[in-house]
């Protein structure tokens, strides 16, 4: 069973809210998907990647997610530093517009 929430905001219990573009929560024995989507010309930077992981970590704790896959889709591509960060942290990434078809 999957539960999809786009642009979900955090609990009001937190002092600071944050936005997750895609959160598909799975059963405990399956992988949940947590994603960031950027539809723009500018490349996705390493700092944005770091910020996304911080938000994802908060969501993982709040929702008690056991198994997950992080991904980023950016139509403007990625900086070299962002790609290195993704590789080092086993985060999936894609800039291929055919994904939207």
Please report the pLDDT score of residue 22 as a whole number.
95
Please report the pLDDT score of residue 4 as a whole number.
41
Enclosing H/E stretch for 29: none
23 exposed, middle or buried (CB, 10 Å; 0-12, 13-18, 19+)?
A: buried
Asked if residues 85 and 91 have their Cβ atoms less than 8 Å apart, the reply is yes
Global model pTM greater than 0.85: no
pLDDT one digit per residue (tens) for the chain, 101 residues: 333 444 444 444 455 577 899 999 999 899 999 999 999 999 999 999 999 999 999 999 999 999 999 999 999 999 999 999 999 999 999 999 887 67
């Amino acid at each position: 069973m999957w539960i999809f929430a786009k642009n979900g905001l955090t609990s009001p219990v937190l002092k600071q809210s944050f936005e997750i573009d895609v959160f598909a929560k799975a059963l405990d024995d399956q992988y949940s998907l947590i994603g960031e989507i950027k539809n723009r010309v500018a490349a996705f930077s390493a700092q944005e990647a770091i910020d996304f992981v911080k938000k994802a970590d908060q969501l993982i704790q709040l929702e008690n997610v056991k198994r997950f896959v992080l991904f980023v889709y950016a139509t403007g591509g990625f900086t070299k530093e962002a790609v290195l960060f993704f590789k080092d942290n086993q985060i999936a990434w894609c800039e291929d517009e055919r994904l939207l078809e």
